[in-house]
Amino acid sequence: MHVDPNWLAAFIAAPGVAASLGLLFTGWGLRRSVAWQYRLALIGALINFAVSVPVLLVTQAGNRLVLQMGLYQAPFGITVIADALSGLMLFFTALVAVTTLIYARGTLDDRDRLNFYPLLLLLIMGVNGAFLTGDMFNLYVFFEVLLVGSFALLTLGGQIGQINGGIRYVLLNMLASTFFLAAAGVIYGTAGTLNMAQLAERLPQAPPSVQLLIAGLLMIAFSTKAGLFPLFFWLPASYHTAHPAVTALFGGLLTKLGVYTLFRIYPLLFPELLQEWQGFVFVVAALTMITGIFGAMAVNTMRRVLSFHIISQVGYMIMGLGLAATGNPAMATFGLAAGILYVVHQMLVKTAILMAGGAAELEAGSGSLLRERMMGLRQRAPALAVIFFIAAMSLAGLPPSSGFVSKLWLLQGAIDAGHWAIAAVSLIVSLFTLMSMLRIWQKAFWGYPKAEYQVPSPIATPSRQWLTLAPIAVLLAFSLWIGIFSGPALQWFDTAAAQALDRAGYIQAVSPTNTIEYLGGSYDAK
Amino acid sequence: MPELYLRLLDRVLTPILLVLAAYLFLRGHNEPGGGFIAGLAAASAIQLQILSLGDEPVRRRYARFLHPMAGLGLFIALLSAILGILRGGYFSSLWGKVQLGEVELELGTPLLFDLGVFLIVFSVIVSFLLALSRQDEGKTP
Amino acid sequence: MSGLTAAILVGALFATGAYLILRRDPIKLILGLTMVSYGVNVLLFTSSTLRKGIPPVIADKKTFTGDISQFVDPLPQALVLTAIVISFGIVAFLVVLVSRRNMLVEQYGKAPDAPTAINDPFGATAHYLSGLDADPDDYEWVDDTFREPAQSERS
């Protein structure tokens, strides 16, 4: 199977064009504008999804698709590269994008929908670009693109809680981006290039102190984006304030993008440093898991509990990075593959459970777990209760879901390599996750509805029910598919991890030139 | 509160600023200038109108164009990148010559991209300015 | 600008920015953010060789022999431009957010019956709750992290 690398541009062009045309359709009367924005956005997201399938298949066959922008040779233009890791991420991002769009159509109120869909697609454009780019500064730019989209989505309702959350979110993400930018400056000053393939050649030769500086600055930037301990606090302060569809999208994509960059950058640019940092990575992973889960047990509204769960689950992914930080290639591949599987599992299940939790809040008119407002949702919305239950069990890691397989794989990797402490922590945190899920189940779904708290549900009409629940079911079906047919699915993650760790292959695929040709003459740079 | 002198100044300065914006925009072809700075100059003309007329008339006049304009700008910018595929690669530039009487103009996709940038910057900055200059700000209802 | 001047400048900007960000006043926070991003811009600018009075373009293509001392590296300048544009946009957005927040606070105060239920982000169900008593835990994040400056500070 052959795919022309030029198709990679569709990941940026399709959402971008759909968003821009959607913005053109404003000022036409609210309802009509929104209907057109939705249609255009759906078309854009479906094109994005349609392109992601062949890219996934082709990269899984062991190829890397490389596209040099503007026909400039590698270090001078911007390189766009899709390998198996990017391919997987792009596919599941496209899936999350389509399902979130449909879910948003079901749950958003008409007056709040204006420009929601174009902004969502801008966010997807940024996320896709960040997965694809092979250039440090371009990565920063795409981070900013998606951040601008997410700022606007977060504060779309204009409520004071959203604005308070939005200020924290903007501030801390902007600071993280500043650190990233500083790192980019130091990288350029050290290596004279920003192309990742060329950096993979040059950075390991840099003085250790400079390497440490760059790796540290990048660590601060990416771990803020990923929500790692101790830089996660912007996340639970803002996520639950947004509309349920926005929270689901953020929970499914944004922190995972941070984790993806950690998976991409550290094995590629700092292979030796990463091995030195193994203990540190494990400590961070364990603390992230523990603080996340304790936070989840301390708060009392549905989506805030789920927001803290995002953090605790990021800890598991970083545990995968820690397992990859070893000199033994087989073990490193195994650990990174487990981490990537966990990222994908979280993209599916976290989006699903935040969607289901948001639908439950809308259904009950409240997210309080302390009062009896949400009691008895299993009777008022049985289909939602079933879906939430499956998502919760997948999140807690019960078979036959992707949660079980991914946790099992991580544990196996940790025990094989003899990291007993982190294995124990991850098991205990799993148990607490189950407890926390049962708490939500007991407070929100179990019991009998109280008559005095009955409110008319904004998602009660059959069409809205379908639009709300079907996307969650699709995401959970993928999760169950990974869980049940784990053999072929696990092959994917193995390939992705092997490619992500194969530095020579990455450099060769991009093949940056070290010679500058200019007006017939040429000379060696550095 | 509309200001008399500002209104007079606005009459004079708005066209000048718009011409300046157009000049900066075209100059960006080869020299310092370009879509971003031109967008800022044009937005400053709108800010002058907000100061002299108050924000409500300006909002009534321009607000409904802002989002479509940003969309158009984004579309044009993306289009200029996609058009490069005609020469073999995205973002590679296409150039053509246009004869206007005596003057020969060299036009290409970078100019198109600059136009997109201009539209986006102008509309986004103006919507920020309008959001910041609400008359009811600070008053209790 | 020599390297040492640049280093001192970057340090000073970062220090000022960090100090201002740790204040509780949103305006100082925005100023601090601006300072920090200026600091990073200067840092980016120094990432290539600093040479005085030489343009980042090749002046005359015909006589250019490949001697890179005839021009300065244009890339850091491009990076700085991009970074300036991005931080400008984000700071402008932040200013709009803060001003909107101040407006809402002045209009409604922080009373729990304001249409600001945290679990009810778009006000979609606010009217359903109106007849019921409000749960304090539904509003726990309508807090005073960004408090209004006290009268003494304001003057």
Nearest CA in chain B to C84: B36
Indicate which of A8, A12, A26, A66 best probes the interface with B, i.e. most B CBs within 10 Å of its own CB.
Answer: A26
> Measured between beta carbons, which residues in chain C are less than 8 angstroms from residue B132?
95-96, 99
Residue C143 pLDDT more than 50?
Answer: no
From first to last of the 526 residues of chain A, give the pLDDT tens digit. Answer: 778 888 888 899 899 999 998 888 776 666 777 888 888 899 999 999 999 999 998 888 888 888 888 777 777 788 889 989 999 999 999 999 999 999 988 887 655 567 888 889 999 999 999 999 989 999 999 999 988 888 888 887 777 777 777 888 888 888 999 999 999 999 988 888 888 888 888 888 888 888 999 999 999 999 999 888 888 888 887 888 788 888 899 988 999 999 999 999 999 888 888 888 888 999 999 999 999 998 888 887 888 889 899 999 999 999 999 998 887 888 888 999 999 999 999 999 999 999 998 888 888 777 777 777 777 778 888 888 899 999 999 988 888 888 899 999 999 989 988 888 999 999 999 999 999 999 888 888 887 877 776 767 777 777 788 888 899 999 999 999 988 888 888 888 888 898 888 888 888 888 777 655 443 344 444 3
Q: pLDDT tens for residues C106-116?
A: 666 554 444 44
Which residues on adjacent β-strands are paired with residue A523?
Answer: A516
CA distance A212 to chain B (A): 35
Question: Minimal Cα–Cα distance from A432 to chain B, Å?
Answer: 46
> Does B91 lie at the interface with A, CB-CB under 8 angstroms?
yes
pLDDT at site A143: 92
How far is the first Cα of chain A from the last one, in angstroms, to the nearest whole number?
Answer: 40
**Is B124 within 8 Å of chain A by CB?**
no
A358, closest residue in chain C (CA to CA): C119
Largest CA distance in chain A: 84
List the structure tokens of C92. Answer: 């402008």
Residue A486's pLDDT is 83
Q: What is the pLDDT of residue C68?
A: 65
CATH architecture for residues C1-53+72-108: Orthogonal Bundle (1.10)
Pairs of residues, one from chain A and one from chain B, whose beta carbons lie less than 8 Å apart: 65
d(CA C33, CA C38): 9
Q: Give C26-34's long-range contacts (Cβ < 8 A, gap of 24+).
A: C26/A167, C26/C98, C26/C101, C26/C102, C26/C146, C27/C98, C29/A171, C29/C146, C30/C91, C30/C94, C30/C95, C30/C98, C33/A171, C33/A174, C33/A175, C33/C87, C33/C91, C33/C94, C34/C87, C34/C91
Structure tokens that stand for B7 in this block: 């209104």
Token reading at A470 = 């079907």
What is the full DSSP assignment across A357-389?
A: HHHHHHHHT--BSSSSTTTTHHHH-HHHHHHHH
d(CA A29, CA A7): 36
State the Cα–Cα distance between residues A243 and A120, nearest whole angstrom. 12
Tokens in use for A231? 């830089």
Only one residue has tokens 């936070």, namely A295
Shortest distance, CA C71 to any CA of chain A (angstroms): 14
Q: Dihedrals φ, ψ of A80, to 5°? A: -115, 125
Instruction: Return the number of CB contacts < 8 Å for A and C.
Output: 170
CA nearest C85 in B: which residue? Answer: B36
Residue C134 has a pLDDT of: 41
Alpha helix positions (H), A270-301: 271-276, 278-298
Strand duo A521-524 + A65-68: pairing:
unpaired
A129-172 tens-digit pLDDT: 999 998 999 999 999 998 888 888 888 777 777 777 788 888 88
- C-alpha count within 13 angstroms, C-beta hemisphere, residue A267: 33
Cis peptide before A230 (omega within 30 of 0): yes
Which residues in chain A are closer than 8 Å to C29, comparing Cβ atoms?
Answer: 171
Cα–Cα distance for residue pair A220/A230, rounded to 1 Å: 10
At A262, the amino acid letter reads L
Cα separation, A321 vs A341, in Å, equals: 12
Angle at Cα C81 formed by Cα C75 and Cα C87, nearest 5°? 135
B130 close contact with C: CB closer than 8 A: no
ipTM of the complex: 0.85
All residues of chain B having their beta carbon less than 8 Å from the beta carbon of residue A26 are: 64, 67-68, 71
Partner B contacted by C106 (CB < 8 A) = yes
Q: Cβ of B74 under 8 Å from any chain A Cβ?
A: yes
Do A122 and A149 touch, CB atoms closer than 8 A?
A: yes
CA angle B119, A98, A166 (to 5 degrees): 60
More confident residue, A60 or C136: A60
Q: Which residues pair with A93 in a beta bridge?
A: none
Query: Domain extents for chain A?
Result: 283-484
Top-confidence residue, C131 or A84: A84
Residue of A384, A386, A404 lying closest to A394 (CA atoms): A404
Token pair of A299 as six digits: 């708060």
Q: How many CB atoms lie within 10 A of CB A437?
A: 24
Residues 6+ apart with CB under 8 A from A309: A292, A293, A296, A350, A353, A395, A433, A436
pLDDT at A2: 78
CA distances from A234 to A59, A224, A239 (A): 35, 9, 8
Q: What is the pLDDT of residues A68-117, one digit of tens each?
A: 887 777 777 888 899 899 999 999 999 999 999 999 888 876 555 678 88
pLDDT higher than threshold 50 for residue C41: yes
- Residue A97: what pLDDT? 93
Residue whose token pair is 């999208």: A249
The rounded distance, in Å, linking the Cα atoms of C90 and A175 is 11
Domain ranges of chain C: 1-53+72-108, 111-148
C131, A167 Cβ separation under 8 angstroms: no
- Which of B41, B53, B29, B17 lies closest to B110, judged by CA? B29
Q: Does B82 touch chain A (CB under 8 A)?
A: yes
Structure token digits, residue A79: 């390189």
For C110, residues 6+ apart whose C-beta sits below 8 A from its C-beta are: C142, C144
In the block, tokens 């309702």 appear at A157
Number of Cβ within a 10 Å radius of residue A50: 12
Cβ-based burial of A501 (10 A; exposed 0-12, middle 13-18, buried ≥19)? buried
Phi and psi for B98 in degrees, rounded to 5?
-120, 130
pLDDT in tens, chain B (141 residues): 556 777 788 888 888 989 999 888 888 766 777 888 899 999 999 888 888 887 788 888 888 888 888 889 999 998 888 887 777 777 777 777 777 777 776 777 788 888 999 999 999 899 888 888 875 544 433
pLDDT at position A234 is 84
Q: How far apart are CA A497 and CA A83, in angstroms?
A: 10
Q: Count Cβ neighbours within 10 Å for each residue of A456-467 and write b for 16 or more, e otherwise.
A: ebbbeeeebbeb
pLDDT of residue A516: 52
Would you give the end-to-end CA distance of chain C in angstroms? 39
Is some CB atom of chain B closer than 8 A to the CB atom of A26? yes
